[in-house]
Amino acid sequence: MATHTLTRPAPRSTSAAQLRQPRKKMTVGRAAVLAVAAILAVLWIVPFAWATVTAFKSETDAAAPKVSWIPPSGFTADAFIKVFQDGNIPLWTWNSLYTSAAITVITLAISALVAYALSRIDFRGKKVLMTVIIASIIIPPPVLIIPLFYQMVALHMIDTSWAIILPQVIHPAMVFVLKKFFDQIPRELEEAAVMDGASRMRIFTQIILPLSRPILAAVAIFVFISAWNNFLWPFISTNDGSILTLPVGLQTIKSAYGIQYAQNMASALLAALPLILVFLFFQRQIIKGVATTGLAGT
């Protein structure tokens, strides 16, 4: 398999980031492919570009009836300064960050534990438990919003971060992604430890987890992105401006700023920035993670 990328050395083994090129000459056909791909890429970049240009305009230019890529009165960062001074975006970014991080950590911990039990321990009722968890994969979150809201009211958790965090830590599909990975770890590695009388927890933390870093990372990425961008449940369970997450906060900005297009776009871009930056740094891991967990996603 001739693997050479033109950008960076090819990563190990068959990761999603790997490029396998059937050997081809640069032909008219290749040029056509490049052209079509480029047109698509431009179409996909335009919304970002247009939002960016708008965000750097004065409100007057942004709302001018004549559409311009170069504003008549020049570019300005006023909209960003204004949005930052309002302080909401930084606050909501922080809220999104810590709730998503908490969701990711809790999800990873509880899912890995149960996945290990399903993969390695022969306990009574395991088949039933497995079936129930598998069946629960098909439950669509919108079905739960009404009873969950009622439950959160009863628990006095509405308008607290707990309301955002707790219901989002159950990812049955991810349990099975982890279990599948654990299933493939050779048992011989554990047998010696069992002989020495090591406890299950010790085997899990000292042998299984260190070997599972790639899958743990993939699951973490998946869970983090879905928590970061989740809208429906946080929207329902929080009203207090100080604990809103970014997606929900932006929804309130839209009504507040109304026709202040430059500020709208500046807010949207600031909200988009963190994950885009993370993606630029961890592109390979994220792509691999999506390819690994994608078909099991919930």
Partner 1 sequence: MSSLATSQGAEQTAQSMPGQPRRNPFPNSASGSETSSPRRTRDNVNGWGFAAPFLAFFLVFLVWPLLYGLYMSLTGKSLTGANDSLIGLANYAEALADADMWHSLGNTLYFTVISTVPLVLVALAMAALVNVGLPAQWLWRLSYFAPYLLASTVVSLFFSWMYNPQLGLINDSLAKIGLPKVAWLNDPNVAMWSIVIATLWWTVGFNFLLYLAAMQNIPAQHYEAASLDGAGAWRQFFSITLPQLTPTTVMIALLQILASLKIFDQVYQMTAGGPAGSTRPVVQYIFETGFTGYRLGYSAAISYIFFGLIVAVSAMQFFITRRRSA
Exactly one of 57, 99, 102, 176 binds partner 1 (CB under 8 A); that residue is 176
| Nearest distance from C-beta of residue 37 to partner 1, angstroms | 4
| Nearest distance from C-beta of residue 190 to partner 1, angstroms | 7
Residue 61 is a binding residue for partner 1 (CB under 8 A): no
**Pattern of binders to partner 1 over 12-51, x per CB under 8 A?**
-xxxx-xxxxxxx----xx--xx-xx--xx--xxxxx-xx
| Beta-carbon contacts of residue 267 (< 8 Å; ≥ 6 apart) | 83, 89, 250, 253, 257
3-class SS letters over 216-275: HHHHHHHHHHHHHHCCHHHHHHCCCCCCCCHHHHHHHHHHHHCCCHHHHHHHHHHHHHHH
Residue 147 is a binding residue for partner 1 (CB under 8 A): yes
> Rounded to 5 degrees, what angle do the CA atoms 232, 234, 238 make?
130
Residue 190 is a binding residue for partner 1 (CB under 8 A): yes
d(CA 246, CA 228): 8
Residue 109 is a binding residue for partner 1 (CB under 8 A): yes
| Nearest distance from C-beta of residue 97 to partner 1, angstroms | 13
For the chain, what's the residue count?
298
Exactly one of 225, 238, 260, 285 binds partner 1 (CB under 8 A); that residue is 225
End-to-end CA distance of the chain: 34
| Nearest distance from C-beta of residue 87 to partner 1, angstroms | 18
Residue 192 is a binding residue for partner 1 (CB under 8 A): no
d(CA 61, CA 235): 32
Q: Please, which residue, 73 or 251, has the CB nearer to partner 1? A: 251
d(CA 279, CA 157): 33
| Nearest distance from C-beta of residue 278 to partner 1, angstroms | 8
Residues 111-130 that bind partner 1 (CB under 8 A): 111, 113-114, 116-126, 129
Burial of 201 (0-12, 13-18, 19+ CB in 10 A): exposed
| Nearest distance from C-beta of residue 122 to partner 1, angstroms | 4
Diameter of the chain measured on Cα atoms: 78
Residues near partner 1 (CB under 8 A), total: 128
Residues 74-103 that bind partner 1 (CB under 8 A): none
Q: Please, which residue, 35 or 81, has the CB nearer to partner 1? A: 35
Residue carrying structure tokens 């079905």: 143
